[in-house]
Amino acid sequence: MIDPPYLLYLGNSTDHYAIKTARGLAVFRPELCIGEYRGNACTLTLELPRMTFAEAVAAGARTMVLGIVNAGGTLDPDVVDDCIAAMEAGLDLASGLHQRMNGEPRLVAAAVHTGRRMHDIRTPPADLVVGSGDPRPGNRLLTVGTDCSSGKMYTTLALHRAMQARGIPCDFRATGQTGIMVAAAGIPLDAVIADFISGAIEQLAPARHDEGWDLIEGQGSLFHPSFAGVSTGLLHGAQPAALVMCHDPSRRVMRGMTDRAPPDLGECIAANLATARLTSQGVRMAGIALNTSAMDHQDAVAMCLRLQDEHGLPCTDPHRMGVEPILDALLGTTQGGAQRAAQV
């Protein structure tokens, strides 16, 4: 178990998407977050108190969470230096990076010397089996995207909150490091051996018989050359009754690429439905979730209304407008779709 409260480590990040783990915790588990550590070159903030490692310990923090992501998920030398300083100040560590802290000799030596614990979140269970594709009861929704870092985790958690508010039985099923830290459970899907990806999701979201919903956090994109494999296995293992397409309309180049444009939204919707039908013949698209943070509110609402008309699906920005239009459509209680979002 990772002991809260947390100090969220932003390092010297300058990329908004690079601190998505820290942001996810700050938004969905704010009661666990006591402050943020920012290096001198960091240009970002979560509007939490800025603290040194010693100040965080004095304020009651027990674990420093590496709230950063980077290409390849590596522990850069300056991050290792900061982790050692944090342990020496009295903090445990938690990381969702691909590179294991427990495989870094300097960190292992520091942990032994200080008696602190290191939690590597991206460690899958040892008892996974290959997927069967056998039909299983239950309502499952999976978020998918036109790109990675397109709002899949945020949308899934927002739907979970909204369902809970309506008294609907539901469970958030985390598949990425941030979601696992938020939910304190899950399987880091991108660390699972390829043959076991679909089986891991069958295990994570098993049969249920209570008319409730498993809300499964999506990963990657079918159209991303680097991450389409994990997206495909997730679609097959989830056996989703419904999908929600997540999209950042301001993005001109796919995340981590140099010249590859995001796919056409309609093409991406069709491809995800076709892929999901291998194990879930009746799957449907329940809505479109946009990240309109780069747009003013009026333009964001206009885009939601336009895409709703073009694709015949409710379209909203879960952060700015809420997920009610998508949830209404999912549950068969549509009350105006994006028109409701336009009134927010």
Provide the pLDDT for residue 340.
46
CB 290 within 8 A of CB 317: yes
Band (73; pLDDT cuts 50, 70, 90): confident
* Fold observed for domain 139-342: Rossmann fold (3.40.50)
Q: What is the Rg, in whole angstroms, of the alpha carbon atoms belonging to the chain?
A: 20
Average pLDDT over the chain reads 94
Which residue, among 192, 187, 207, has the nearest Cα to 132 in the 3D structure?
207
CB 119 within 8 A of CB 94: yes
For range 217-243, the mean pLDDT: 97
**243-276 confidence digits (pLDDT tens):** 999 999 999 999 989 999 999 999 999 999 999 9
Structure tokens at 35: 């402050």
Where exactly does CATH 3.40.50.300 map onto the chain? Answer: 139-342
| pLDDT(154) > 90 | yes
Lowest mean pLDDT among 65-69, 165-169, 245-249, 275-279: 65-69
- List all residues 6 or more positions away from 220 whose beta carbon is below 8 Å from its beta carbon: 145, 148, 190, 226, 227, 228, 229, 230, 231
Is the whole model's pTM more than 0.75, yes or no? yes
**133-143 confidence digits (pLDDT tens):** 999 999 999 99
Task: Look up residue 329 and give its DSSP letter.
Answer: H
Give the chain's end-to-end CA distance (angstroms, integer).
Answer: 39
Band (210; pLDDT cuts 50, 70, 90): very high
How far apart, in whole angstroms, are the C-alpha atoms of residue 237 and residue 134? Answer: 10
Is 6-120 CATH 3.40.50.720? yes
Count CA atoms within 13 Å of residue 274 on its CB side.
7
| pLDDT(336) > 90 | no
Provide the pLDDT for residue 333.
60
Where exactly does CATH 3.40.50.720 map onto the chain? Answer: 6-120
How far apart, in whole angstroms, are the C-alpha atoms of residue 342 and residue 168? Answer: 26
